[in-house]
Amino acid sequence: MSSNQDFEARLDKLAEVAVRVGLGSVAGQEVMMTAPLEAVPLARRITHHAYKAGATLVTVLYSDDVATLERFRTASDESFDKAAGWLYEGMASAFRSGAARLAIVGEDPTLLSGQDPAKVARANRARSTAYRPALDLIARSAINWTIVSAATPAWARTVFPDLPEDEAVARLWDAIFAASRTDGPDPIGGWAEHNRLLAERTGKLNAKRFAALRFKGPGTDLEVGLCDGHRWAGGAGKAENGVTYNANIPTEEVFTTPHRDRVNGHVSATKPLSYQGTLIRDIAVRFEGGAIVEARAATGEDVLKKVLEIDEGSRRLGEVALVPHASPISTSGLLFYNTLYDENAASHIALGQAYAKTVEGGAEMDPETQIRHGINSSLIHIDWMIGSGEIDVDGVNPDGTVEPVMRKGAWV
């Protein structure tokens, strides 16, 4: 088989996994897909497998980094308080009508690093506000949805800056196929086993009923209180429409909902955060009573602080996740500058919107009751990494006693 034929075969496997494992089932459903222009080959293969699986209609919306950058270089000032509300209203309408959601990501991690942080923050706020109705449906798992990646030249140049572009793209595709567990003889069966192991881990954590988690290591001494009635989840989950799906391809995490008012201490990021085209390095923050009261970063600090001002919930946590340091993405030795991958290399926390589904009865609560129960609400949900081979994690029981959960990034 020629190298091109081999690549096409591997791309087809990734597309099949995206549909059959990621979305789980699309029989009788519409599929709404977003993708960068450079991901057309993968989007076409996914479209093929979606129709093969019984999708009634696949609609693809493409984005263009060049056009995005042109806005920041040329548009009038009032542009940055605008968002395509009509588009996001249409997406929310599609989800309410039962459409599945699939996102292909591969954006340039540094696209907007040279742009005015105030304009970036305004544009992000406008987009987050317009997207909120659709995000609410995704956050509560009203539909089956998934995210996969495609290697793009700009992303590959960031990950492999010393390689020629074509070689960098090829290396990044290799890493994507490996992390997405599509290189084996039976990717679908491999994913079934992987989901079984993640379910086993969540079962053990759910049996513990910890009141909090405590993270300790270089630059970190953080206690994350957990919501009363929290549930751990990981791997495959079931949407409200009854479909079993995997939200992230790849995934190595188990996660739950922290209490928005019970986070205290300080924590340092162990990997850079790529957020909406800005690379934020060396994040260090301090929490009091659940909220960030001090924040700094080596680069991108202005953007980070603007993010924390988006709304009242953007300074609070919506997720805490545990990932072993020995995960395949971590052992690859690569820094992906992409949250979908880097969050699966390290334990992490997320600022902003919580997943109500990981609290008993949370999805049935009205927004005010969710807040009272400790389930955070925000226009954003931003994961950033705090785990490493030097971080210990303890579970704190309701009576204050402590049990080891991870030592040096490994499960105890």
**pLDDT given for residue 139 in this prediction:** 84
pLDDT in tens, 279-302: 899 999 999 999 999 999 999 999
340 or 390, greater pLDDT: 390
pLDDT in tens, 162-181: 999 999 999 999 999 999 99
Say how many CA atoms lie within 13 Å of 293 toward its Cβ: 10
The Cα–Cα gap between 230 and 10 comes to: 39
The Cα–Cα gap between 327 and 66 comes to: 34
Fold adopted by 3-179 = Thermophilic metalloprotease-like (3.40.1830)
| Pick from 155-159, 168-172, 326-330: least confident | 326-330
Query: Could you tell me what percent of the chain has a pLDDT over 70?
Result: 100
**pLDDT given for residue 256 in this prediction:** 98
Structure tokens at 168: 């960098």
Q: Calculate the average pLDDT of the chain.
A: 95
Q: Which amino acid is at 108?
A: D
Contacts of 15 (CB under 8 A, 6+ apart): 42, 45, 46, 48, 49
pLDDT in tens, 350-396: 999 998 889 999 989 999 999 999 999 998 999 999 999 999 999 99
User: What residues does each domain of the chain span?
Assistant: 3-179, 209-230+253-411
Contacts of 315 (CB under 8 A, 6+ apart): 291, 292, 308, 351
CA 145 to centroid of chain Cα atoms: 12
- The answer to whether the CB of 273 falls within 8 A of the CB of 251 is no
Instruction: Enumerate the β-bridge partners of residue 291.
Output: 288
Task: Say yes or no to pLDDT of 1 above 60.
Answer: no
pLDDT in tens, 103-133: 999 989 889 988 998 999 899 999 999 999 9
Instruction: Enumerate the β-bridge partners of residue 238.
Output: 244
Strands (E), 304-388: 317-322, 348-352, 381-385
Name the H helices within 260-320. 301-308
**pLDDT given for residue 276 in this prediction:** 77
